[in-house]
Structure 1
Amino acid sequence: MTVDAQASNIADRSIGSILADLRNLSADQVERIVRHQRDRSVRFGEAAVALGFASNDDVLFALSQQFHYPYASEEHRKASPELVALNQPFGVQAESLRAIRSQLMMRLFNEGQERRAIAVVSPDSGDGKTFFAANLAVVLAQLGGRTLLVDADMRHPRQHEVFGVGDKAGLSSILSGRAENKVIQQVAGVPSLFVLPVGTTPPNPLELVERPAFGLLIRELVSKFDHVVVDTPAACYGSDSAVIAARCGATLVVARKDQGRVATLQDLVANLAETPAVLAGVVFNEF
């Protein structure tokens, strides 16, 4: 069966069928839900919740299956609490991320524009850059296009922890010519989202991204994925982020609201302005 056929089968299934499989409902329980649904003139999901056979999260998950909208299971939410766009797709944080996504789509990803990767940079450690990059990748993947998150923070990598993927091999393996197996990993539950972790933390991160191989790799990835998001080291650790931004072609700055220094942020924006990268904007993280 093809992927399209599988997706069609899921979309054709009723909410009741999905909930019954999800909660292992018996025929008698389904009949009780249907009776309650008919008597109260409510939807099947509402009836199931009212009778205690399903939770609101179960109903949201079933709806997400019908509309091909990635929504994390309860187990996944506990394992990856930082992925708010996946764990709480209808919350305030997810709405803010989608608003930023809309701005980026208009500024960077219009049809006919040169395709670029977008580097997420920040002035200081603790600004929420990794959190933002991870969730930006999620909301871009929720559009349906193939999205790749590259962890290029080879000083303090964390994306493998955020997504719960292996880190034995990754970007550093590719750039050092030691990649033997597939290093790009698909995110469980999100068919269109992939992660390229750092792998082994190298002793020479700046030199690796300054070599031609990194620029060639980014161009290859941009040609194979609809969106490429690149996490970078905080600017306080060196010039890695500016070099990476230049290779990516576009950049977005993340700063911590009410904590970061204005002068530091201004210096970073000025440094980025001297690179070939298009500055998409500055985001103030208040979460």
Structure 2
Amino acid sequence: MAKFRDSRLAVVEQTTVEGTVPTSSVHDRALGDILQQTKNLTAEQVDQILAFQRDKRLRFGEAAIALGFATDEDILFALSQQFHYHYAPAEQHQLSSELVVANRPFSRQAERFRAIRSQLMMRVFGGEPSKMALAVVSPDSGDGKTYFSANLAIALSQLGGRTLLVDADLRGPRQQGLFGIESMSGLSSVLSGRAEANVIQQIPALPSLYLLPAGVLPPNPLELVERPAFGLLVRELKSKFDHVIVDTPAAVHGSDASVIASRCGAALVVARKGKSQLRSLQDLVGTLADGAGHVAGVIMNEF
């Protein structure tokens, strides 16, 4: 494996390699085995389910529900494991309620994120030669950029490939709190040459999703993302993950977002219905279009 010339980035190579998902998992197991593990069913309870299943000619899950050993939600979660469709079960309380694709994967809101994901798979993540990271930008604070970035990353991870969410908002980061991750090390540590091991963390409930948190807030956020090290980092991350989503500071705080977007190669603009000003939105899209990045589109947030 090729090594980094910049020693500040070597920790990222180590972390992403260590975070590789094992090839053996629950996907090839029977529904009964998964349900037995997730519901802590005893051998006696499993025998009761099997006997009832044979007697009534039901599926294992239907028999478990009929006997009161499982709920519809339990069966749906077990099926999701078989079909490589990861989401957080109801008891996964460390995930914020804002993460609708993880917490309510079959809701109307989650379906909208999947529709956007389909468009982006064609426009941005369309193949290895044109592989790009996607910066999510917005004109102002409160537009829903962080909410959108997190849910889009979850939706991409549910395709089965390795997805990385980078919190590059070095002015007011929120991703770490949304996913319940505790870490003082992150992007700012990598870019300042002070990173420790394991700066990239796998989200336990979503095994194909990884998070690179912002880290300690630096006094010079714009200067950090303007350094060559950030461009080198993004390029390396794109080679190690199937999809890379980058959350950015709102444009009202400075030019961080446009700089980050140019390094990523593509940008998606998030505006908020009834809040975003048309002039600010036009200025942001114009700035992005003049840069090195590709403007993938504009999303109107109604949440």
TM-score range, shorter chain: over 0.9
Which sits farther off after the overlay, 45-54 or 275-284?
45-54
Deviations 1:86-121 (Å, cap 9, x if unpaired)?
122111111111111110110112225422111000
The one-letter amino acid paired with 2:22 is V
Which sits farther off after the overlay, 108-117 or 209-218?
108-117
Task: State whether structure 2 residue 250 is matched by structure 1 residue 234.
Answer: yes
Relative contact order (C-alpha < 8 Å, sep 6+): which is higher?
A: 2
Unmatched 5+ stretches in structure 1 = none
**Mapping of 1:56-205 within 5 angstroms?**
56-77=72-93, 79-205=95-221
Q: CA separation in 2, counterparts of 1:112 and 1:149? A: 19
- Give 1:30's aligned residue: 46
Deviation at 1:44, TM superposition (A): 2.0
**Partner SS state of residue 91, structure 2:** helix
**Partner SS state of residue 176, structure 2:** helix
Deviations 1:162-191 (Å, cap 9, x if unpaired)?
111123111101111111322111111222
Q: Structure 1's 42 and 261: CA in aligned 2 closer, same or farther, altered over 3 A?
A: farther
**Mapping of 1:38-57 within 5 angstroms?**
38-57=54-73
- Give 2:16's aligned residue: none
**Partner SS state of residue 75, structure 1:** coil
Task: State whether structure 2 residue 19 is matched by structure 1 residue 3.
Answer: no
The one-letter amino acid paired with 2:87 is Y
Q: CA separation in 2, counterparts of 1:263 and 1:206? A: 24
Deviations 1:215-269 (Å, cap 9, x if unpaired)?
1111111111111110000111111111111111100011112322222211211
Question: TM-score, normalized by length of structure 2?
Answer: 0.88
Deviations 1:11-69 (Å, cap 9, x if unpaired)?
33221222122222234433443344345443222232233211222111111121222
The one-letter amino acid paired with 1:158 is R
Question: TM-score, normalized by length of structure 1?
Answer: 0.92
**Partner SS state of residue 109, structure 2:** helix
Which sits farther off after the overlay, 226-235 or 71-80?
71-80
Q: 1:225 aligns with which of 224, 235, 241?
A: 241
**Mapping of 1:13-24 within 5 angstroms?**
13-24=29-40
Size of the aligned set, in residue pairs, is: 283
Which sits farther off after the overlay, 173-182 or 238-247?
173-182
The one-letter amino acid paired with 1:280 is A
Check conservation: 2:144, 2:270, Cα contact below 8 A: yes
Check conservation: 1:167, 1:198, Cα contact below 8 A: no
Q: Please report the RMSD computed on the Cα atoms of aligned residues, expressed in angstroms.
A: 1.8
Deviation at 1:214, TM superposition (A): 1.1
Q: CA separation in 2, counterparts of 1:177 and 1:29? A: 55
Q: Structure 1's 35 and 113: CA in aligned 2 closer, same or farther, altered over 3 A?
A: same
Q: CA separation in 2, counterparts of 1:164 and 1:146? A: 20
Q: CA separation in 2, counterparts of 1:42 and 1:282? A: 48
Unmatched 5+ stretches in structure 2 = 1-20
Q: CA separation in 1, counterparts of 2:149 and 2:86? A: 17
